[in-house]
A and B are shown apart, each in its own frame.
Chain A
Amino acid sequence: MSTDFFILMKSELSLVLIIFLLLFIKVWDGIKSNTTLLHLTNVLLLLHFLFGFFINSQGELFNGMFYTNDATALEKNILNFGTLIISLQSFDWLKTHKHLLEFYILLLSALLGMFYMLSSGNFLLFYLGLELASIPLAALVNFDLEKRKSAEAAMKMILSSAFASGIMLFGISILYGTTGSLSFSELPKLITGETLQLFSLIFIFSGFAFKLSAAPFHFWTADVYEGAPVSVTSFLSVISKAAIVFVFISVLSPLFIVAQSVWYMILLLTIVLTISVGNLFAIRQNNIKRFLAFSSIAQVGYILLGLSSGNTAGSTASVYFLIVYIFSNLGAFGVISLVASQTEKENIEDYKGFYQTNPMLSWIIAISLFSLAGIPPTAGFFGKMFLVTAGAGKGNYLLIGFAALNMVISLYYYLKVVKTIFIDKNENPLPEIKGSLSLKLGLLLCVAGIILTGFISMLYQYINTIFTF
């Protein structure tokens, strides 16, 4: 038990260790320089990320309450990696921020919550993890302390996330009432597909959809993304979304096996609605963060499309896509974060003529947007292709046609931003912007990921072997 405990929970423990270390530094108040602190934290996060690759083993703790296997280890590594990149990219924003340590403590607590969620073998631990992942995030959204919008966003976030939790809890309680169990390993056997159980599953799914910001539960997304500091927005849109999708794959899909046809109908509706809403609203946005918020709603639709296949190809494609999505979205957010931290400008209009002054940053944002749009040779193309291929396995070509044509719509708004940056002329473009080394490293990782992930098929193969049972 004792060694097992340390080995199986090593990711969580090492994260807790970092959190406490940062807390001690805060109390001790010995390191005054923000830059030193930031470098220290980045090194710690890097070590934590690397540590994720060693001494992995499978097993469960607390009578199946907590489990780990190759899949959860991989998922945690992906989340760690994303957090590391976000941390690198936040450098320029945080180096003058007074509450830098609190930022990290909250951020890592949220990450810890996600880890517990991923490893949970029981709805109780799952719910605990979910709350631990949501509440610190609401505090983070409020981290631009002087801005009213930031506070407003935090309020919206906490209310809607409480609402989602409530709905989900309601579903869980009905499920418990009808089956008498909360354990993920027992539940699939106990679910018979009676109406009340379907009801509860739909409630649980709605809770998930809230967190995923899938339509029609997406309303909080745009406002929160707009109000939150860019680094937090990127964490929300990438890491927390990825975590929910991972849980979705391992927890929710097995529960629905009994009610395949109902499940597929629900997913179908959600996919069509999510993709349309995301795309149609993204076209009309002026604020670049809101724009990315809606585009990320559309991306969720594609992830659900891959998951709708309900097979290995679907899970593999979704996880693969999320990795690509981390690279692409963080590439775009990294640049936006840099621009916002130095010029306070966040509108698409402001980027007119950006290419004249910042060619390098322009290319990075363009490559990221192309990857989000699924244009080859970027990795986004492969990600989208695999999702659509997985979805096509069901033989519903009408849906695939819908998804494919919606890629064209999404291309329209991505190209509009590219056009603003490259083609539109501007007398007073944004000044030349220089970022810190950390930020450049973060962007470099993203660009390298976008360019290489697609060509190198090893990653996909690896994920595929993990999800093949």
Chain B
Amino acid sequence: MTNLTLLIVIPLLTALAVLFCSDAKQIRWTAFLGSIIQLVYSSAILYSYTMERIAGNTSQMLFESRHTWYRALNIEYYVGVDGISIAMILLTALVVVSGILISWKMEILTKEFFFLLLLLSVGAYGFFISLDLFTLFFFLEIAVIPKFLLIGIWGSGKKEYSAMKLALMLMAGSALVLVGILATYFNTDIGGGVHTFDILKIAHQPISINVQQFVFPLLFVGFGVFTALFPFHTWAPDGHSSAPTAASMFLAGISMKLGGYGCLRVATYLMPEAAQHYSWIIVLLATIAIIYGAFATLMQKDLKYINAYSSVSHCGFVLLGIGMLTKTAIIGAVMQMVSHGLMTALFFGAIGMIYERTHTRQVEQLGGLLKVIPFLGVVYVIAGLCSLGLPGFSGFVAEMTVFIGSWQHPGMFNRIATLLACASIVVTAVYILRAAGKAVMGPITDEHYLQLKDATWNEKLASVLLIMAILSIGIAPFWFTDLISADTQLIMENIVRGITNK
């Protein structure tokens, strides 16, 4: 029997175990083992989920577990997964393992560092499995403060400013979410004036349109801040570039996905009519983010900033897919979340490993890395190619699905938005190829580089894990679509019902 609570308990226990370790070696091995166990367990959940589905289990959520928490307010600890959550959980598990592997050499305050990383992952796992809005919000906020400390203590550059900006903007986002959740709660009625936080119950008992139109913007913008929704994206470039490598990976790979998942699962799923009503604004903002992000990236000279701004652009695709409200587009959005999570974790990992060796992230100063550290060079190029959407990698599949889904929307406005978003790929190609060409290919700019050592086993393992995941989605996307299509279908039914009700 699968117990989802273990997904929270395993990283939590690992985090506690880390506190009791005595030296750096013990700490990293404990953290590594814990995260590997978590990865294995997540895969086991995927396996038993597939088996259940094959056996014909059609209930919306599987492995549900429900405990009353605060009876007076009808707050429950209620967890369950569908394909979308499982995809997110696997993404998280993979990023956590590789993040820990890449931080292998962390020497300063090692214990605290791994503890905070693991605590952050607890928040993410809990968020993805929660089916109760209160519990969901609880886990969402757990994932914020560790980021502040991770960036503030171990970061580089103007780390204090970035850490504070990130924490405050994300908390402001979650403040909006809080108001949205409470407004939702007080507008539900499950008999006898009792309100509920239960996502599934709320979905089956539609909320009146007036309330939706008030609540949806709160929820969508609130979660949107997490996923760098334009114009609330400004925390992302600073935060990403100041964070230590593993924290950047977690931030872009996991944390930004909390927002996308929330926009989909909470905002769009629970407020279908309002989603329809505000669809054009989402599409507009997403398109602006895509294009603005791409052009802003063109101007960047720092490898981390390049990836940070391109994240804004890529997360725009997620929101574009959600905003289009067609089934294919939403599948594409989920794919893009996973794909971007993997790709950007790999990207930040590669940049971090390069920076550790060369002590610079300026494209100008780098050059010829492929000749001296071939493995890292190749990893960087692979990440880049995935980012610009080369067929065979996950980025291509995800973006293509979003585009096809978006095109299915017949409106003229949406078609133009789709075209503009497609066009941004050209810009992506420019900045990726330019950076890769200068830093990885080209002549060696500094003779010190000749002494550089290539990736160690842990770095290789981390990169290989992520690359394999990227390739498997890229080559066999149907595995992924099979996993999530039934659930997007359910979300679509809610949306369609919303449209017909109107």
Taking residues whose C-beta sits less than 8 angstroms from the other chain, chain A's interface range is 20 to 34
Given contacts A411-B167, A461-B71, contact A422 B153 (CB under 8 A): yes
B21 within 8 A of A: no
The dominant DSSP class at the B interface is helix
Interface residues of A in 448-467 (CB under 8 A from B): 457, 460-461, 464
Output the nearest chain B residue to A424 by Cβ-Cβ distance.
Answer: B160
Give the Cβ gap from B79 to chain A, nearest Cβ, in Å: 15
CA distance A389 to B182 in the complex (A): 7
Does B175 contact A423, Cβ atoms closer than 8 Å? no
**Could you say which residues of chain A place their CB within 8 Å of the CB of B71?**
457, 461
Give the Cβ gap from B243 to chain A, nearest Cβ, in Å: 14
B-contacting 9-mer, from A34-42, A256-264, A391-399: A391-399
Does B72 contact A316, Cβ atoms closer than 8 Å? yes
Does A386 contact B73, Cβ atoms closer than 8 Å? yes
Given contacts A408-B175, A412-B168, A423-B153, contact A376 B138 (CB under 8 A): yes
B142 within 8 A of A: yes
Output the nearest chain B residue to A312 by Cβ-Cβ distance.
Answer: B72
Number of interface residues of B (CB under 8 A): 34
**Could you say which residues of chain B place their CB within 8 Å of the CB of A316?**
72
Output the nearest chain A residue to B148 by Cβ-Cβ distance.
Answer: A415
**Could you say which residues of chain B place their CB within 8 Å of the CB of A408?**
168, 171-172, 175
**Could you say which residues of chain B place their CB within 8 Å of the CB of A375?**
141, 144-145
Does A457 contact B69, Cβ atoms closer than 8 Å? yes
**Could you say which residues of chain B place their CB within 8 Å of the CB of A464?**
72
A377 within 8 A of B: yes
Does B167 contact A415, Cβ atoms closer than 8 Å? yes
Does B185 contact A411, Cβ atoms closer than 8 Å? no
Does B186 contact A395, Cβ atoms closer than 8 Å? yes
Chain B window 155-185, contacts with chain A (Cβ cutoff 8 Å), 1 for yes, 0 for no: 0000110011001100110011011001101
CA distance A377 to B140 in the complex (A): 11
B149 within 8 A of A: yes
Output the nearest chain A residue to B222 by Cβ-Cβ distance.
Answer: A404
Does A392 contact B72, Cβ atoms closer than 8 Å? no
B152 within 8 A of A: yes
Interface residues of A in 382-420 (CB under 8 A from B): 385-386, 388-389, 392-393, 395, 397, 400-401, 404-405, 407-408, 411-412, 415-416, 418-419
Does B186 contact A419, Cβ atoms closer than 8 Å? no
Give the Cβ gap from A392 to chain B, nearest Cβ, in Å: 4
B457 within 8 A of A: no
Give the Cβ gap from B364 to chain A, nearest Cβ, in Å: 30
Interface residues of A in 307-355 (CB under 8 A from B): 313, 316
Q: Which of A381, A404, A461 contacts B72 (CB 8 A)?
A: A461
CA distance A416 to B163 in the complex (A): 11
CA distance A117 to B185 in the complex (A): 37
B70 within 8 A of A: yes
CA distance A419 to B168 in the complex (A): 14
The 6 A-B pairs at the shortest CB distance, nearest first, are namely A404-B175, A392-B182, A464-B72, A423-B152, A408-B171, A408-B172
Q: List 12 A-B contacts (CB under 8 A).
A: A375-B144, A376-B142, A388-B178, A389-B185, A392-B182, A397-B179, A401-B175, A404-B178, A404-B179, A422-B153, A460-B70, A461-B70
